[in-house]
Amino acid sequence: MEEREVVIIGGGPAGLTAAIYGKRAGLDLVVLEKGSFGGQIIITNEVENWPGTQHTTGNDLAKSFHDHAEHLGCEFRKATVREIIPGNDRHVVATNVGDIAAKSVIIATGATFRRLGCTGETEFTGAGVSYCAVCDGAFFTDQDVAVIGGGNTAVEEACYLTRFASKVYIVHRRDEFRADRLVCERAACSEKIVPVWNSVAESINGTDMVESLTVKNVETGELRDIPLAGVFVFVGTVPTVSFLNGLLERAEGGWIKTDARMQTSVPGIFAAGDVRDTPLRQVVTAAGDGAHAAMAAHHWITAGTC
């Protein structure tokens, strides 16, 4: 079986930063990624809070992380992890392209978009329902769309969609957004953005493509039909952990519990970035987690303690 000092699962900001720090510390490591390198950030158009860079795109930032790791000689592999089999001095990472025995494993698999669960959401995914404004926004040029949610993602992506759509409803279940003040102020300046307060999506309707959204006012119970062509769902995220099959202690929602050094409940297995139980999920915190995890893995391998 292939043997490594460290296997990093996930090629987003946390995994790539762990790779950079791990490689610089002299660790023999491989980064596994099942999709494209960069993680969720690659579908974000505007990144304005990466220190030292006033404005960049998620794709450019992800590419710079990847190029940096590649320049240091990090090895990357396309692989889907099926499970991690814990051991005393070796953990086995089982993948669709073979198994790897590793002294240490860093889980940096991130999170994916939470589904809304309303009628029509699954049926119209790809036919008017989307989870990515950068990917699909241009399809709705001069048409009306709705964004569901009130967090940073929902309000930022609604602002982005105003470049294309004629009107962008933001359907939120409360009467104020959760998003940061600056983001809310930007949305308030747009004449194209129309908040629909105290409302949830009841059903997404159409024949072949989305034609309308039915929203329900949570205070009055009143139903309202909004004619539109697209519905963008941004109601938070869920951790990518299905391959763990119950391994590792988890917080509510499935987020992996770690200590301050990213150590999970199994010695030698670390978690970094959005997948872990953390109060802030940002590129900068994911990168910080990745650095901690790599240094903790180095300490575990060289000193034999966490």
Distance CA 101, CA 85 (A): 9
Comparing CA positions, the residue from 157, 218, 223 lying closest to residue 193 is 157
Return the C-alpha torsion angle 16, 303, 261, 49, nearest 10.
-30
- Mark 257-286 with x for binding to ligand NAP (rule: CB under 6 A) and - for no binding: -----------------------xxx----
Is 235 an interacting residue with respect to ligand NAP (CB under 6 A)?
Answer: yes
Stretch that binds ligand NAP, among 55-63, 81-89, 152-160, 187-195 (CB under 6 A): 152-160
Looking at the Cβ atoms of 151 and 267, the one nearer to ligand NAP is 151
Is 154 an interacting residue with respect to ligand NAP (CB under 6 A)?
Answer: yes
Distance CA 182, CA 25 (A): 39
Is 136 an interacting residue with respect to ligand NAP (CB under 6 A)?
Answer: no
**Which of 132, 184, 277, 306 does the annotation list as catalytic?**
132
Looking at the Cβ atoms of 79 and 116, the one nearer to ligand NAP is 116
Looking at the Cβ atoms of 38 and 150, the one nearer to ligand NAP is 150
CA end-to-end span of the chain, whole Å?
25
Distance CA 25, CA 2 (A): 21
Interface with ligand NAP in residues 51-80 (CB under 6 A): none
Tokens of residue 101, six digits: 């025995």
96: helix, coil or strand? Answer: coil
Known catalytic residue at 132: yes
Q: Which residue bears the tokens 């450019």?
A: 60
**Which of 136, 144, 274, 289 does the annotation list as catalytic?**
136
Distance CA 169, CA 42 (A): 24
CB of 188 to ligand NAP, least distance (A): 16
159: left (phi over 0), alpha (psi -120 to 50) or beta: alpha
Residue showing the smallest CB distance to ligand NAP in the complex: 151
Among 70, 92, 236, 277, the residue binding ligand NAP under the rule CB under 6 A is 236
Which residues of the shown chain bind ligand NAP in the complex (CB under 6 A)?
Answer: 49, 116, 148-154, 156, 173-174, 178, 200, 234-237, 280-282
